[in-house]
Amino acid sequence: MFRPINNHSIQIITIISLICSPVSLPLVKAQITHVILLDELDISKITQGTDRPRSTGDKANLSINGKKFLKGIHTRTESRLYFELDGKVDEFSAMVGIDDRNDANRTQQSSKESSAAEFFIIADGKVLWQSGVMKFGDDPKKVKITLAGVKNLLLRVTGGPGNTHVDWVDAGFSYSGQCPKTVWSPEELAVDRSNIQLSLPRINGAMVIGIRPNTPFYYPVAATGGRPMTFMADGLPEGLVLDEVTGIINGTPTQVGEYKVKLTVKNNFGKISRDLKILVGDKLALTPPMGFLSWNVIEGSISATVMREIADAFVNNGFRDVGYQYIIMDDCWEGGRDRYGIIFPDSLKFPHGLKSVGDYLHEKGLKMGIYSSPGSKTCAGYTGSLDHEDLDVKTWTSWGIDYLKYDYCSVPRDRARELYILMGDLLEKSGRSILYSISDGDISAKWGKLSKANLWRTAGDIRDQWFLGNGNGIIECFDRQQPKFTEFQHPGAWNDPDMLLVGIYGKGASANDLDAKGCNDTEYRSQMSLWALLSAPLLISADVRNISRNALEILTNPEVIEVDQDPAGRLPVRIGSAADMEIWVKDMEDGSKTIGFLNKAKDKRKMSIKWKDIGLQGKQLVRDLWLRKDIGIIKDSYSVTVFPNEVSLIRVYKKQ
């Protein structure tokens, strides 16, 4: 007997059919939410009033009103950190407040008590949250905001007096799309290079290079002028090839010998040729190394991202075109050792290891440097090389390291000399042409030859100030050089008065502690002049990704760099004995003379030199190296007005 199916039965059957039917239904994809902490991102892009930002990974020791925090970042007002988001960041949360800052070198107690700041979170130009004015001693405030749909985010802190120490702690994002990305502030993103004229090519940089046989060779022909360019090289040793488009020479030379290579660069305005001498043998660093050293502005924020961005800036901002080549990681890259004793980098900072970073640099014709200590711990407390020297050299070689900075920290004094010599022997046998930089105070110069080092520190850690009173200002580091270290320097072995400070302007973490206030462009130009006269290593420590136009022009002046890179590598000689006015004369390989007029007085001075006092007679062609133009044919003597802390730099050629 037939019984009708009621509506309820129809619904049940329909549901069962849908569940069991092979007919497909739209699937709901599970949404995965990720979390990342603020201090895990690249915070080096913060712009702030002074110093550089610090994270808990840098032992920032974050503390607000006595409360300690394990995670977060420390910055100084006025502070800005921009982010690019994809609209799929769900939330940002943090605690904010004035840092206790117990380090008396950085903030005096009297200024702490009057410190105040206000925190803002600005999304797509709209203020989403602000803390109100917070004072030293206030408890931290909590913030938690939704960011769905937001594309541009700004974390901003204003305040005073001075550059107040502030913290974003326990801070992080939750997101379901792309990871938040820090970017440079729109105000400081672009470097204006509109003043650089398209012109005839000019070949710059080192014109003599040493390399060990059967080791990798990287050399970008450094050339300025109108682009595009075509590069040519005649007489390259066997094993080396030139890329005519990029101008990069690479390969592996096999035969010991001296090779004279004719380089030619051609563009739409003309062409120029210059000889390059390649010595395949046992000599390295035949001119002072040029590059970037990360400590002063990057410190513990060093990462694979930072290294690649520095390399890009070397190319895009023209540093490679005037001869800078080494990009050197200072301390804080280390992650520890595995069970076999092999050192490894911090996996958060270098998720794909260091070989990939080296490969990236080498493709651009650049070279990678690394940092370690002969002690068990580095100066920042990370893993040193003590009792692992051979293993470390083999590891660094596998990564493609081209430069080692070996810093004196936690070293047993009675073993220091032995350990520096040991590392030099291992590097020589490494299978790579690795430059060796040592630092052990005044005695490092005496050990340089024994340890086969290519450069050694001759001054303390330089600070961003002309004169500091403790021996660490620019002029103080210069004054230490002569006559104390004159006997040690020659091509392949260089006195190192420490890093260039040009372009920091008071915003370096280490460069601006000990109350160093920063320098002006005149003083930065003077440091560049003095270091060039000394044939000193030119290691930039300002952030080249975000460099001012004036600093860029100082650091990339090819005529001043040519003085530093002169193959003779001679030290300057002081002429005259006035206490606050110094004249330094450097004999160049081509017979010309470079003269620096240094004014240490507090007011401008007129300074003069007679040609007969420096072995010249009659008429001389005088060229101003900072103006980059000929002054004229000058007979018998030359005079110039020099302002306080200024160096007037000229090059004198015999009139033909």
Q: Where are the beta strands (DSSP E) in 256-339?
A: 257-267, 270-280, 290-293, 326-328, 334-337
Distances (CA, A) of 142 to 81, 154, 167, 508, 648: 19, 17, 12, 29, 55
266 beta partners: 230, 271
- Rounded Cα distance, 221 and 263, in Å: 8
* Distance from chain centroid for Cα 330: 9
Contact 541/292 with Cβ under 8 angstroms? yes
Distances (CA, A) of 314 to 222, 309, 324: 12, 9, 8
- Rounded Cα distance, 34 and 153, in Å: 18
- Rounded Cα distance, 284 and 490, in Å: 12
Amino acid (one-letter) located at 260: K
- Rounded Cα distance, 42 and 474, in Å: 30
Contact 595/584 with Cβ under 8 angstroms? yes
- Rounded Cα distance, 32 and 87, in Å: 15
User: Residue 420 is encoded by which pair of tokens?
Assistant: 């520096």
Contact 294/349 with Cβ under 8 angstroms? no
Query: Quick one: residue 369, left, alpha or beta (phi over 0 = left, psi -120 to 50 = alpha)?
Result: beta
User: Residue 184 is encoded by which pair of tokens?
Assistant: 């440079």
Amino acid (one-letter) located at 76: R
Residues 6+ away with beta carbon under 8 Å from 502: 524, 525, 527, 528, 540, 542, 551, 554, 555
- Rounded Cα distance, 201 and 233, in Å: 15
Residue (of 347, 438, 334) closest to 392 by Cα position: 334
Provide the annotated active-site residues.
407, 461
598-601 CB contacts, 8 Å cutoff, 24+ apart: 598/526, 598/530, 598/642, 598/646, 598/647, 599/642, 599/643, 599/644, 599/645, 599/646, 599/647, 600/475, 600/644, 600/645, 601/644
- 177: helix, coil or strand? coil
Per-residue DSSP letter, 140: P
- Rounded Cα distance, 582 and 586, in Å: 13
Q: What is the dihedral of CA 202, 206, 211, 215, to 10 degrees?
A: -50
- Rounded Cα distance, 327 and 324, in Å: 9
- Rounded Cα distance, 121 and 125, in Å: 10
- What DSSP assignment string belongs to 546-600? G--HHHHHHHT-HHHHHHHT-TT-PPPEEE---SSEEEEEEE-TTS-EEEEEEE-
